[in-house]
């Protein structure tokens, strides 16, 4: 069973990587790029019947740093 987890920095948390990308896009001549935020997408291949609670437990314990990151779980 496939599960997708998106992990993004919480709003208000400085995103140096996103800033670097925004800056680089400007240098490459791309105009009108007002903001860039970069996060992780994790695709999990788990046993059938794995519950969303188990996936959230994985996020809380490992996949996301919940102090500065928020996550969204997209089951199967």
Residues forming contacts to its own copies in the complex (CB under 8 A) are: 6, 8, 18, 21, 24-25, 28, 30-47, 50, 54, 57-58, 61-63
Residues whose CB falls within 8 Å of the CB of residue 10, separated by 6 or more in sequence, listed in order: 68, 69, 70
Q: Measured from the CB atom, is 35 or 67 closer to its own copies?
A: 35
DSSP-assigned letter for residue 67: T
Q: Measured from the CB atom, is 46 or 73 closer to its own copies?
A: 46
Nearest residue to 64 (alpha-carbon basis) of 4, 2, 7: 7
User: Nearest distance from residue 21's CB to its own copies, in Å?
Assistant: 7
CB 67 within 8 A of CB 8: no
User: Nearest distance from residue 52's CB to its own copies, in Å?
Assistant: 14
């Amino acid at each position: 069973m496939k599960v997708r987890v998106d992990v993004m920095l919480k709003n208000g948390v400085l995103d140096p990587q996103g800033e670097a990308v925004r800056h680089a896009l400007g240098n490459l001549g791309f105009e009108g790029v007002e903001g860039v935020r970069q996060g992780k997408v994790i695709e999990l291949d788990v046993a059938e019947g794995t519950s969303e609670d188990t996936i959230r437990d994985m996020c809380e314990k490992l996949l996301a740093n919940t102090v500065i990151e928020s996550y969204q779980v997209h089951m199967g």
